[in-house]
Structure 1
Amino acid sequence: MNATRPEEVIIVMDFGAQYSQLIARRVRECRVYSEIVPCDTSLEDIIARHPKGIILSGGQASVYEDDAPRCDPRLFELGIPILGICYGAQLMAHLLGGTVQPAPRAEYGRTQLHVIDDSDIFAGLNPDLICWMSHGDVITKAPPEFNVIARTPNSPVAAMSNRERKLYGVLFHPEVSHTPWGIEILRNFAYKICGCTGLWTPESFIDATVREIRERVGKERVLCALSGGVDSTTTAILVHQAVGDQLTCIFVNHGFMRKGEPERVVRTFTQLFKVNLVHLDASERFIKRLSGIVDPEEKRKLIGEEFVRVFEEEAQKLGRVRYLAQGTLYPDVIESGSR
């Protein structure tokens, strides 16, 4: 459902970084909505999302390798502000005519950063700072028409900018707590460069989501598979706020939960949230299905298959239900979108 996407969105393009989700979270902490997309997302898809800005994440590869992950080079011609972080900065430099090489001395951990230009993304910060580095390649030459705006003892181009094109790159990681002032880089990028106003909040997202669910579902019924975990619970509560008793949740106890947890889930949803809940104790069925199975991956697949069968059998008893509500953890959304 795309209608809930706020007008001000900053996209994080994921190049295989361990911190992509943290980048998106930090942007949201600046009261700007952010979402993650794979690095090979088409230019047309990016344009259709109408982002106020784009952040290129870090990654494990070297940009000069033949199989290194890349974005569409035309991305830099859209006129949308872009901030490259670590690998993202190296990729920007590589694609736009700069030079990226293996570093004579890799930079890992706390590093002294000297700011040369304290405008734009470094606005309001001291000229000498501590940042967190994690890279084995270095930008030795910025692309044409780019200015070097920060350096370290081992990185002559620790940060660079093309103010006219609103393109920025930093080799350090502003998203981690080890760069204590890093949130200011992201805030300056969001507000000063992208022109965001910082009006987004989780509460506003909830209100918009509930409103859209209500408009889409109308008077139809909704069915939700409930595990008791954060993702399915969040989904169930949002849908229940929107359509009330039109929602039915099916909770399958497969026998592998913590002691007392099934009872807690039932009590929470029936007594606290007043949700229509179908509770199925299928523990004996699951235990029988897994009898003799020792391989963890095979167990995982069998549990998933059996859950679907139990859920489908019970869902058929409810008659016609038009909508299925599914709560999915964000990393699974990213993985599914990575094709």
Structure 2
Amino acid sequence: FGGQYNQLIARRVREHHVYCEIMPWNKPIEEIKAKNPKGIIFTGGPNSVYDEKSPHCDPAIFELGVPVLGICYGCQLMAYTLGGKVGNANEKSEYGKTEVTFNTESKLMKGIDEKEICWMSHTDFVTELPEGFRIIGKTATCPAAAIECPEKGFYGVQFHPEVNHTPKGTNMIHNFLYEVCGCSGDWTMTNYIEDQIQKIREQVGDGKALCALSGGVDSSVVAALVSKAIGKQLTCVFVDHGLMRKNEGDEVEAAFANMFDSHFVRANAQERFLSKLKGVTDPETKRKTIGEEFIRVFEDEAKKIGKVDFLVQGTIYPDVIESGLGDSAVIKSHHNVGGLP
């Protein structure tokens, strides 16, 4: 829902060895259902739920029979959608470390003390609970700092459990994952790597793959994974455009030409890029010029290789969010696709 902590919430879930994905608020319910989720977390966000322009998910999400944890805006949205009321806190808005009194009998609060410090950041709050809900946490100024409907597995917290300023917040996330959702906690990065290598082998079969390797984290990680999976069936083309750090091109070559069992091609295209950029001063024009020329050099190298079945591209998760959420403010054209024709 546009919250700045969405990546951090996902990280906390993964730290508890549970796989998760971040999705935008308007993801179709069929696609969410197809993922067969064990639980859903609503992130915070800067809007007010009673504002018509604010992001609202499909109410059918509450009929999937899946536990939901709402955080901050997510808590308000759940209460509002299910028939409760949300109002402006006015002079009672809270920001910073706040003492919250909890009902420790709740599954969400297992192992939590009756009074805990939590990080608040809100101007709205739940003023009337939906039917079937009860209060399990309150502060001096916020009567519904935590709410639950245990029969349906719905929980909401007005504070941010994912930040370090809520010391027991990670315990609450653990409780949601294990006590409420019944997750098994067997997901680790090691398992993930093995799974991906197996999937890549099955997908590529005896085909050939071509990877555009820049030396950055995105393409290097995917090149390493695919190389482990299919070895010599992969060709990595490293386009050295002359705009890297000192000796970085040699370091990329040393790593990939020697450490991995795949074909490595280095295209020394420094002059091509620098001549194209001569006299160009606008940063956005530079990005598009570099993107365009990169493809042209890559095409030239690809023609030398011959028929290829798969193109390999790596992207870090924040880029998926940046490109796919639709609500993110665009500061510059996306670096992976910014200048591509």
Q: TM-score range by the shorter chain?
A: over 0.9
Displacement of 1:338 after TM fit? 2.5
Q: Which residue of 1 aligns with 2:55?
A: 69
The CA deviation string for residues 159-192 of structure 1, in whole angstroms up to 9 with x for no partner, is 1000001101011111111111111111100001
The answer (yes or no) to whether the contact 2:104–2:111 under 8 Å persists in 1 is no
Q: Which stretch of the first structure deviates more once superposed, 124-133 or 273-282?
A: 273-282
Cα distance in 2 for residues equivalent to 1:88 and 1:317: 53
The answer (yes or no) to whether the contact 1:83–1:169 under 8 Å persists in 2 is yes
Q: Which residue of 2 aligns with 1:153?
A: 140
Cα distance in 2 for residues equivalent to 1:27 and 1:95: 25
Displacement of 1:274 after TM fit? 4.1
Q: Which residue of 1 aligns with 2:150?
A: 163
Which of 182, 202, 205 matches 2:192? 205
Q: Which residue of 2 aligns with 1:6?
A: none
The answer (yes or no) to whether the contact 2:49–2:86 under 8 Å persists in 1 is yes
Query: Does 2:170 match 1:183?
Result: yes
Amino acid at match of 2:309: R
Q: Which residue of 2 aligns with 1:95?
A: 81
Cα distance in 2 for residues equivalent to 1:249 and 1:154: 59
The CA deviation string for residues 7-55 of structure 1, in whole angstroms up to 9 with x for no partner, is xxxxxxxx11111111111101101101111110111111100000000
Superposition CA RMSD, Å = 1.1
Which of 260, 269, 275 matches 1:273? 260
Equivalent residues in 2 for 1:252-331 (5 A)? 252-331=239-318
The answer (yes or no) to whether the contact 2:41–2:68 under 8 Å persists in 1 is yes
Q: Which residue of 1 aligns with 2:8?
A: 22
Cα distance in 2 for residues equivalent to 1:253 and 1:102: 55
Gaps of 5+ in 2: 327-341
- Could you say what secondary structure the match of 1:317 adopts? helix
The answer (yes or no) to whether the contact 2:3–2:45 under 8 Å persists in 1 is yes
Amino acid at match of 1:231: D
Displacement of 1:336 after TM fit? 3.2
Query: Does 2:29 match 1:60?
Result: no
Amino acid at match of 1:233: S
Displacement of 1:70 after TM fit? 0.9
- Could you say what secondary structure the match of 2:298 adopts? helix
Count of residue pairs brought into register by the alignment: 325
Q: Which residue of 2 aligns with 1:4?
A: none
Q: Which stretch of the first structure deviates more once superposed, 311-320 or 50-59?
A: 311-320
Return structure 1 stretches of 4+ with deviation > 6 angstroms.
Answer: none
- Could you say what secondary structure the match of 1:38 adopts? coil
Gaps of 5+ in 1: 1-14
Which of 233, 251, 275 matches 1:246? 233
Equivalent residues in 2 for 1:93-172 (5 A)? 93-104=79-90, 105-172=92-159
Q: Which residue of 2 aligns with 1:35?
A: 21
Q: Which has the higher strand share?
A: 1
Amino acid at match of 1:268: A
Displacement of 1:93 after TM fit? 0.9
The answer (yes or no) to whether the contact 2:135–2:146 under 8 Å persists in 1 is yes
Cα distance in 2 for residues equivalent to 1:50 and 1:204: 20
Cα distance in 1 for residues equivalent to 2:323 and 2:101: 40
The answer (yes or no) to whether the contact 1:118–1:124 under 8 Å persists in 2 is no
Identity %: 53
The answer (yes or no) to whether the contact 2:104–2:112 under 8 Å persists in 1 is no
